[in-house]
Amino acid sequence: MASLSNIRRLGIKELWSLARDPMMIVLILYTFTVSIYVAATAMPETLHHAAIAVVDEDSSALSARIVSAFRPPWFTVPALIDPAEADARMDRGESTFVLDLPPGLQRDVLAGRSPTIQLSIDATRMSQAFTGNVQIQRILATEIAGFVRRDEGVTRLPVGLDLRMRFNPNLEQAWFGALMEIINNVTLLSLILTGAALIREREHGTIEHLLVMPVSPAEIMLGKVWSMGLVVLLAALGSLAGVVQIALQVPVQGSVALFLALVALHLFATTSMGIFLATLARSMPQFALLLVLVLLPLQLLSGGVTPRESMPQAVQQLMLAAPTTHFVAAAQAVLYRGAGLEVIWPQALALLAIGSALFAFSLSRFRRTLGQMG
């Protein structure tokens, strides 16, 4: 009981120290609010309400069919304009795409000729310009081919393919970006907070005070682990509820409680890793350099940015020793697909094992560091 009381009091001391550090408070707030929102909405890889205008010089059934094919959420409702308005609308930024359907379009298509359709693109909007060009060409080809088949009286096949996207029916990039940013920021902030807490004590000289107190290295380390882990856990919960579900309107398929349990297991591993990095560094600049060397591989090779299946086999096997690999796989299964404990228990067990190993290794290094200081 005395040991638990020491761990509780040491953790509370860490929370008070964090509360008196305005830069860390700003970092926490930014990481789980603005950073999440920006990652979800800035520079989307997919089309989202791209502004399009159509010059319909044919006024036929085929041109009407083409115009009606451009619909939200990929495009805005097309604005029907005169040819003279096209350049002015693009200069004012009102339209990213202007599609000109020439007179006699339907007649030429039915006669087997190849009419020329003009598509003007505002290429200053680089992301939408590239993906929108491909999407518009696909829509045109699909609608013209469908119109020709209908006119020729070709019957449909008795079997058709009906595609349905799970979790994200419209394939909106914001839905993936917001949740993945939370998953990545849990790792980022837990490493920073625990490492900075230890280095801050060393720079302020308070670590020497702890050495003369009746507390063990394990109690000191556990105090930092639970307090900094609690801060990240609460920040992740607030971000998931406030930014993701309310501000961005992203639905969460699975159990939030199960996701938070996974976060707690992951924090046990990453906070221990943060303390280990802090024992290697002698100052905050050194810690920051070490953090870059460790954090980038953890995030880039864990499966959150690119699928693990596309990586070399050796990298896949090596990254099984990293907690982020199992955390990303389990968190995606819960948040995206609504998986339960019966599905993600292997990842949860791996997180517990890796976290225990990292804690034991970091504790050994922490004891040696304190012994050198004493």
pLDDT digits (tens, 9 = 90+) for 128-185: 787 888 889 999 998 988 888 775 544 555 666 666 766 666 667 777 788 888 989 9
Tell whether 356 is covered by a domain: yes
162 vs 289: CA distance, rounded Å:
50
**What is the average pLDDT across 364-369?**
85
281 pLDDT band, cuts 50/70/90, is confident
Nearest Cα neighbor of 263 from 344, 176, 198, 357 is: 344
What would the pLDDT profile of 192-225 be if each residue is shown by its tens digit?
999 888 888 877 777 767 767 778 888 888 998 9
> According to the model, what pLDDT value does residue 43 have?
54
Q: Do residues 229 and 267 lie in contact, with contact meaning Cβ atoms separated by under 8 Å?
A: yes
Rg, the chain, Cα only: 28
Residue 163 lies in a domain: no
Q: What pLDDT digit, counting tens, does each position of 27-56 carry?
A: 999 999 999 988 887 655 567 788 899 999
Is the pLDDT assigned to residue 126 strictly greater than 80?
A: no
> In a 3-state reduction of DSSP, which class is residue 53?
strand
Q: Are residues 39 and 85 in the same domain?
A: no
Rounded to whole angstroms, the Cα distance separating 166 from 169 reads 6
- Rounded to whole angstroms, how far apart are CA atoms 248 and 258? 22
Does residue 320 sit in the same domain as residue 244? Answer: yes
Instruction: Say what the pLDDT of residue 151 is.
Output: 53
Q: Let me know whether 31 and 78 are in one domain.
A: no
The CA distance from 372 to 366, in Å, is: 10
> Residue 247: what pLDDT?
87
The amino acid present at 35, given as its one-letter code, is S
Same domain, yes or no, for 230 and 326? Answer: yes
Q: Is residue 156 part of a domain?
A: no
Total domains, the chain: 2
Q: Do 38 and 120 sit in the same domain of this protein? A: no
- Does a structural domain hold residue 160? no
**203 residue type, one letter:** E
Quick one: 262 and 279 in the same domain? yes
Separation between Cα atoms, residue 184 and residue 252, nearest integer Å: 17
Quick one: 31 and 60 in the same domain? no
Residue 311 within a domain: yes
Per the prediction, the chain carries an average pLDDT of 86
Question: What's the one-letter identity of residue 252?
Answer: V
Residue 162: other Cβ atoms inside 10 A? 4
Position 298 pLDDT exceeds 80: yes
Looking at residue 360, its pLDDT comes to 92
Q: Please tell me the predicted confidence (pLDDT) of residue 279.
A: 87
User: pLDDT at residue 343 above 60?
Assistant: yes
Residues 37 and 63 in one domain: no
The length of the chain, given as a count of residues: 374
Q: Check residue 158 and give its pLDDT.
A: 66
The sheet carrying 79-80 orders its strands as 79-80, 52-56, 97-101, 118-121
Tell me, yes or no, whether 323 lies in a domain.
yes
What pLDDT, on a 0 to 100 scale, did the predictor assign at position 359? 92
217 and 355 share one domain: yes
- Beta bridge partners of residue 52, listed in sequence order: 97
Residues 110 and 187 in one domain: no
- Asked whether residue 165 is domain-assigned, the answer is no
Which range (28-32, 113-117, 210-214, 295-299) has the least confidence? 210-214
For 88-105, what is each residue's pLDDT tens digit? 888 888 888 999 999 999
Q: What is the DSSP string of 11-49?
A: HHHHHHHHHT-HHHHHHHHHHTTHHHHHHHHSS-SS--S
Least confident stretch, 61-70, 76-85, 181-190, 303-312: 303-312
Classify residue 159: in a domain, yes or no: no
The mean per-residue pLDDT over the stretch 260-278 comes to: 93
Residue 320: domain span: 2-43+172-373
Q: What is the pLDDT of residue 217?
A: 83
pLDDT at residue 269 is higher than 70: yes
Residue 234 predicted with pLDDT over 90: yes
Do residue 139 and residue 255 come from a single domain? no
**Shared-domain flag, residues 236 and 296:** yes
CATH number at residue 103: 3.40.1710.10
